[in-house]
Structures are given as C-alpha cells and as structure tokens.
Amino acid sequence: MTGFPADLRLILVHKQKTSARVRFLKFAHGVCAFTPLPTLSVVEEEGDGDSVVAYHPNAWLRVAAEQLGLDGGALAAVAEYHATVQTPDGPVTVQLASLETVDPPFAEAERLGGRFVAITEARGCTPVELELLRRAYTTVMG
C-alpha cells in the first residue's frame, strides 16, 4: 500500500453505537490491514520492549481511509491499544482503528475481499492474530 509504513499494521474494528456489537474487518489473508504478518511472528508480552517508531495517527488514518474507500473522518485511532509483533524482518507495530460509521462499511470491505466478523468467527486466524484480536476486544469493551 503506497504511503503506508511496512512496519505498521492496523486492526479495524466497528462497535455498533446502539447495541455495542463488535466486529472486526477480516481480509482474505487475516485481520491485519493491509499486509499479512509474516510466518514465525510472535506478539510481545504487554509492557515488554520499547517501541522505537511511533507513527502519528493522522498520517496512517488518512492513508487507511483512502485504501478502504472511506471519507477521511470515518476512522479514529484507539489510543489505548498498541502491540508490537516480532517478525523475522524486525518489529512491527500494530494499532487499532475504529470505524466511526453508523454501520460497518460492508461494500467497501467486500471490494477488498474482506468481511466483518465477530471475534468468535475469527477461529481461522493465526494464533498471533487471535492474540491481537483478544487484546483489541478487551480494549474496545473496556
């Protein structure tokens, strides 16, 4: 994805305002937008390590919204969420972005080969992605 750092991934979540139903955008390759995590990746324990690179949310939110075909204000950073994944190519930062639309953008997800799933429907994901989703769900639900 042009303009998107190679060492940054996003998990995209939609929380229904009226029912609190939480769904994650799952692509054909998994839940990390927009590039899958490499094989042999490992999630660092919470509190371990120091993030060397911190990306300002405005930059990656704008690029992610463009990639998804959404308006600029359709995504918001979830500041409480941050994870680091160690990969064979070096550390990757994982951030959480909330879709601020009334309903999940189903058509845009389908155009990218994705769909919105509840956490219970993510069983086919890798163990690394499942751990990232668990942390994201805990953050979103408080």
Lowest pLDDT segment from 14-18, 22-26, 57-61, 64-68: 57-61
Indicate if the pLDDT at residue 35 is higher than 70. Answer: yes
Q: Which residues have a Cβ under 8 Å from the Cβ of 77 and sit 6 or more positions away?
A: 57, 61, 95, 96, 97, 98
Asked whether residue 122 is domain-assigned, the answer is yes
What are the pLDDT digits (tens) for 63-88?
999 999 999 889 999 999 999 999 99
Which structural domain, as residue segments, surrounds residue 74? 8-141
pLDDT tens string 104-124: 999 999 999 999 999 999 988
Q: How many domains is the chain built from?
A: 1
Considering the domain boundaries, does residue 31 fall inside one?
Answer: yes
Q: Is residue 1 part of a domain?
A: no
Residue pLDDT, tens place only, 39-70? 999 999 976 555 555 677 888 899 999 999 99
32 located within any domain: yes
Half-sphere exposure of 117 (CA within 13 A, CB side): 18
Tokens of 103: 């309903």
Q: In this model, does residue 127 exceed pLDDT 80?
A: yes
- 78 occurs within a structural domain: yes
What residues contact 59, with CB distance under 8 A and at least 6 apart? none
Residue 90: pLDDT over 50:
yes
Which CATH number covers residue 35?
Answer: 3.90.79
Is 2 part of any domain?
no
> Does 41 fall in a domain?
yes
Write a three-state SS string for 85-105.
EEECCEEEEEEEEEECCCCCC
Is this structure's pTM higher than 0.85? yes
The distance of Cα 7 from the centroid of its chain, to the nearest Å, equals 13
